[in-house]
Amino acid sequence: MEKKTFVTKEQLEKIVRKYPTPFHLYDEKGIRANAKAMQEAFSWNKGFKEYFAVKATPNPYLINILREYGCGCDCSSYTELMLSEAIGCTGEEIMFSSNDTPKEEFQYAHKLGATINLDDFTHIEFLEDAIGTIPKRISCRYNPGGVFEVCNGIMDNPGDAKYGMTEEQIFEAFRILKEKGAEEFGIHAFLASNTVTNQYYPMLAKQLFELAVRLEKETGAHVSFINLSGGVGIPYTPDQEPNDIRAIGEGVRKVYEEVLVPAGMGDVAIYTELGRFMMGPYGCLVTKAIHEKHTYKEYIGVDACAVNLMRPAMYGAYHHITVMGKEDQPCDHKYDVAGSLCENNDKFAVDRMLPEIEKGDLLVIHDTGAHGFSMGYNYNGKLKSAEILLKEDGSTQLIRRAETPKDYFATFDGTDFYEKLNL
């Protein structure tokens, strides 16, 4: 598939006159169309709900767009719960899935009426001690161990993951939770990350559906929902074809009717927790070429760095780059596209064939709408960039300003040092 930007060079030049680079830009039109498709794909399930993974893009303006299409919030921390509450998302609109969870976070989640998803068997006692009860509605995270392989060879290794309960543990957990007053049970699992295949969700669903039938039969617990979690990915590279969410939804429906309906469990609600799929392709990092360097390699220095997008430095992840205005020029120059951090891995591309880049050129780094801004940090004292929404009518809205030195030094407030900064 050809990688195209959702913004034109002319639009971008107008935007950068108002907002200095670097910044993350989001496509409202694309977000809305994708959220609508997601809801349609699972409309066959009466109780379906997408719980957007707040960790992926924790911006209330973007999450509120998704909420217009019935999406809730998947939270994993105190501050994510705070964000959700602030936008009016409470009760069963929140799925709280965490690990190594402090009691304060369980307490806050319970206060908001969130559905709590227990990561570990020992968390039953810990939760009860933290909130003084076991909620009527509760979920448990399952980890089958071993490896998980899809037909096209895509695989992950749940057995090496720190998340979830063993099969034996989840059966015992259901028994104990039922004895302690739980009435509605859910199952949650995440077995593979960023799968670009329509097969992943149906395969995962079949495994969880069969588990649910056995759990209900052997423990007497009523399984009211099954959370397929995340894992449906996006095509970061041009040679990949995007997932077809409608085909995925249909694949899950077939398995649902094969496994759950004959077992008398045709009322089970299906939940998802997609971050990357919901938002990833609809965000990009806009940066400007400010330096060129000719040593043992050819380097282009840009005004963004790993603070703005960590995935390439952290994982060696590929993010496509478009040199605006040069989309039709031959990619006949080999560059490392680098940021300014004092780390050699601070590179958005290594040995990437691109059109000739000149200082002042605008570069669009694709697919940063999820796990882009949110993974930023402040190494070298670098400041996180602004977030801007490109609205359907072509106008723009600043939905998060860029950090300032005052933000960076804010936690020194009340000290003698802070007074010396003259902020």
Question: Cβ of 6: how many Cβ atoms within 10 Å?
Answer: 18
Q: How far is C-alpha 192 from the chain's CA centre?
A: 14
Annotated catalytic residue within 73, 140, 151, 342: 342
DSSP code at position 385: P
* Structure-block tokens of residue 348: 């958005």
* Structure-block tokens of residue 87: 């936008």
331 assigned to active site: no
Check: CB of residue 270 under 8 Å from CB of residue 47.
yes
Q: Which of 421, 399, 405, 418 is nearest to 26 (CA)?
A: 399
166 phi and psi angles, rounded to 5 deg: -70, 170
Long-range contacts of 399-405 (CB under 8 A, 24+ apart): 399/26, 399/59, 399/61, 399/62, 400/59, 400/373, 402/20, 402/23, 403/378
Check: CB of residue 60 under 8 Å from CB of residue 67.
no
Per-residue exposure over 120-153, b if at least 16 CB sit within 10 Å of its own CB, e if not: bbebbeebbebbeebbebbbbbbbbeeebebeee
SS3 8: coil
Q: What angle do CA 100, 103, 108 make, to 5 degrees?
A: 115
Check: CB of residue 251 under 8 Å from CB of residue 198.
yes
H or E element at residue 348 = strand 347-354
* Structure-block tokens of residue 59: 């911006």
* Residue found by looking up tokens 């190594």 in the block: 100
Q: Give how far Cα 303 sits from Cα of 173, 300, 308, 339, 359, Å.
A: 51, 10, 10, 7, 11
Q: How far is C-alpha 258 from the chain's CA centre?
A: 30
Catalytic residues: 342
